[in-house]
Amino acid sequence: MKILGPDFLVFGIDDVDAGHRCAVDYGLKVVEKGAHGGTYEALDGTGIVIRRSSDPGLLPATAAKPGLRETRYGVADKATLQAIGAELSKDRDVKELANGLLQSTDADGYHIAFEVTGRRPIDGPWYGINVPGQPPGRGMNVTATTIDEPDIRPYTLSHVVMFTRDKVKSENFYAARLGFRTVDSFSNLGPFMRPQGTHDHHTLFLIQAPPRGMEHFTFHFAGANEVLKAGWEFSRKGYKSFWGPGRHILGSNYFWYFNSPFGGNIEFDADMDIHDDSWRPRSVPMSVDASQSFLLQYADKWAPTGGPPKH
Ligand SMILES: [Fe+2]
């Protein structure tokens, strides 16, 4: 089944104005916005939908409000959509909407949906780095930074992390019913999984823990510089850092997590590992050393014109 990963996350939240500000401050482009909420997208057209918690068009909440109401996966073609419908309808309700969206639920009762992807080729600036001994990553006289840097934009929706009541049951559902592969696991938490339509280390991570709903979600940014710079600007706008910046070991992605109005954390992510089916999954217990290669802390800007930097 050629599932590419999440194309849209649909949120039901109480403060749609705070949601709007957060989406824009994060770098997403406004597709539509009104008193009802809004739709926001990354460079490839993946994105998030924000609606009021009470919106009758939303699917029922499966966790405390506010929060994620639906994960809409993009699939490669109609044949995949039909295969998913045939598979899931064996033991659960599957609803096909007039717009082609196929709605169902996963093993935890969370709403999942599938549609033929609307992802576009990414129209973003070339991202290159210069490494000694290797061909230049950037052209001659192309500077990586400028004083007036353009806004940083997320490239594509990367992954969503969900709490699960039963990590084995949930992993089996995504593997056996939807063709996801487990790439790595934290043995005491749960699996990192990727569907067959992407090589990304994970588009879904499951954490067995008492809370219900979403732990965090993130889009991919171009690289470490963009995660650090965008996160730095996000901090200056008053968003509270939850964890980071740092670099994970499983997946190798740079990360920086912040509190959000979406009922879970929002992350800035870049440079995730890619894998094919020859990869042998690792399974390690979660620990501070296993979960990150390094961890840094935000500081205000400083220049060597007087006293020492303030931390
Ligand atoms: Fe993440």
Per-residue pLDDT, averaged over 145-167, amounts to 94
**Separation of 245 CA from ligand 1 center, angstroms?**
12
pLDDT in tens, 205-246: 999 999 999 999 999 999 999 999 999 999 999 999 999 999
Structural domains for the chain: 3-120+153-277 (3.10.180.10)
Longest Cα separation, the chain: 71
Cα radius of gyration (the chain): 20
**Separation of 159 CA from ligand 1 center, angstroms?**
7
pTM over 0.85: yes
Half-sphere exposure for 276 (CA within 13 Å, toward CB): 1
| Residues 6+ away with beta carbon under 8 Å from 32 | 38, 39
Closest CA to 106 of 159, 167, 52: 167
Percent of the chain with pLDDT over 90: 90
**Separation of 255 CA from ligand 1 center, angstroms?**
7
**Separation of 130 CA from ligand 1 center, angstroms?**
27
For residue 187, pLDDT over 90 is answered with yes
| Residues 6+ away with beta carbon under 8 Å from 29 | 40, 41, 42, 153
pLDDT in tens, 27-42: 999 999 999 999 999 9
**Separation of 217 CA from ligand 1 center, angstroms?**
6
CA distances from 131 to 60, 141, 142, 203, 269 (A): 51, 16, 15, 29, 22
Rounded to whole angstroms, the Cα distance separating 251 from 271 reads 9
Per-residue pLDDT, averaged over 34-51, amounts to 97
pLDDT value for 305: 80
Strand 111-116 vs strand 47-52: parallel, antiparallel, or unpaired? unpaired
Asked if the peptide bond before residue 211 counts as cis, ω within 30 degrees of 0, the response is no
**Separation of 308 CA from ligand 1 center, angstroms?**
34
The protein residues having their C-beta less than 5 angstroms from ligand 1 (an ion) are 218, 267
How many beta carbons lie within 10 A of that of residue 176, not counting itself?
A: 10
Tokens coding 4:
């590419």
pLDDT value for 146: 87
**Separation of 309 CA from ligand 1 center, angstroms?**
31
